[in-house]
């Protein structure tokens, strides 16, 4: 009987390339939230990932392709965090839990791992279509997630309230990060939270 030994090196090489690609995307997903799309350069990303600038094109066709994947990763992380909140609390308390987490001081201070909508919203309209498409999908997912927590889910009013809730959440966080007065920052978050909690109850 003849035993044929398979060469595992190509599979090992592909796995290593996938892991490296994943590391670059992870670094870029943090970087875009921390520094914005325009402030995120290929050389800086590759350096932070522990790679040479020249290795970039083995993984991406262009900077825009990397930004689209980074946006996708950032949105996926944000959606997973929101879904995790919903899964961990009793039915009927998910929306207040989401609001409290989103409009918390902790979220305010961790822009690089936080909501990409608040971190990048003002820049997104000037980005490539792939980036805008990723953002649009994420916004729709978040609207749907909020709407499903409302008592009248499935009715037109629930969808409209979800639109207002998402807009208020993101806008309040964006403004709370923008101002240089801590008291005003707190007031923006707390007023939005108070209003949304009252509306959602």
**Residue 69: inside a domain:** yes
Question: How far, in Å, CA of 3 to CA of 134, rounded?
Answer: 48
Alpha carbon distances (Å) from 158 to 10, 93, 99, 143: 52, 16, 16, 10
> Can you give the C-alpha Rg of the chain in angstroms?
20
Separation between Cα atoms, residue 178 and residue 172, nearest integer Å: 10
2 within domain boundaries: no
Domain contains 1: no
8-state DSSP, 52: -
Q: What is the pLDDT of residue 199?
A: 67
What pLDDT does 17 receive?
A: 86
**The pLDDT value given to residue 198:** 85
Residue 98: per-residue pLDDT: 95
- Classify residue 82: in a domain, yes or no: yes
CA angle at residue 32 from 29 to 37, to 5 degrees? Answer: 135
Determine the pLDDT at residue 14: 78
Domain annotation covers residue 84: yes
| pLDDT reported for residue 1 | 45
Question: Is 5 a member of any domain?
Answer: no
User: What's the rounded Cα separation, in Å, for the pair 175 and 104?
Assistant: 13
- Asked, for residue 3, whether it belongs to a domain, the answer is no
188 belongs to a structural domain: yes
Contact of 111 with 34, CB cutoff 8 Å: yes
- Which DSSP category does 45 fall into? H
Cα 170 from chain centroid? 12
pTM of the full structure: 0.85
CATH assignment of the domain containing 93: 1.10.357.10
The boundaries of the domain holding residue 171 are: 10-200
Note every long-range contact of 82-88, with CB atoms under 8 Å and residues 24 or more positions apart, other chains counting: 82/142, 82/145, 83/145, 86/145, 86/149
Q: What gap in Å lies between CA 201 and CA 199, rounded to an integer?
A: 6
Sequential pLDDT tens for the chain (201 residues)? 454 445 555 688 878 888 999 999 999 999 999 999 999 999 999 999 999 988 999 999 999 999 999 999 999 999 999 999 999 999 889 999 999 999 999 999 999 999 999 999 899 999 999 999 999 999 999 999 999 999 999 888 999 999 999 999 999 999 999 999 999 999 999 999 999 998 655
pLDDT at 9: 59
pLDDT of residue 7: 53
Structural domains counted in the chain: 1
Output the pLDDT for position 115: 96
């Amino acid at each position: 009987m003849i035993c044929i030994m398979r060469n595992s090196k190509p599979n090992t090489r592909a796995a290593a390339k996938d892991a490296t690609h994943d590391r670059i995307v992870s670094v870029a997903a943090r970087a875009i939230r921390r520094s914005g799309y325009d402030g995120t350069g290929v050389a800086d990303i590759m350096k932070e990932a522990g790679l040479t600038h020249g290795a970039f094109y083995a993984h991406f066709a262009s900077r825009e392709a990397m930004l689209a994947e980074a946006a996708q990763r950032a949105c996926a992380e944000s959606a997973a965090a929101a879904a995790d909140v919903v899964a961990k609390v009793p039915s009927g308390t998910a929306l207040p839990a989401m609001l409290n987490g989103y409009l918390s001081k902790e979220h305010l201070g961790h822009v690089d791992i936080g909501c990409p909508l608040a971190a990048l919203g003002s820049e997104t309209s000037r980005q490539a279509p792939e980036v805008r498409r990723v953002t649009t999908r994420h916004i729709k997912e978040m609207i749907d997630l909020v709407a499903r927590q409302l008592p009248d889910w499935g009715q037109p009013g629930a969808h409209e309230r979800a639109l207002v809730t998402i807009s208020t959440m993101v806008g309040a966080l964006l403004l709370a990060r923008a101002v240089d007065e801590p008291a005003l920052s707190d007031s923006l978050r707390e007023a939005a939270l108070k209003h949304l909690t009252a509306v959602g109850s």
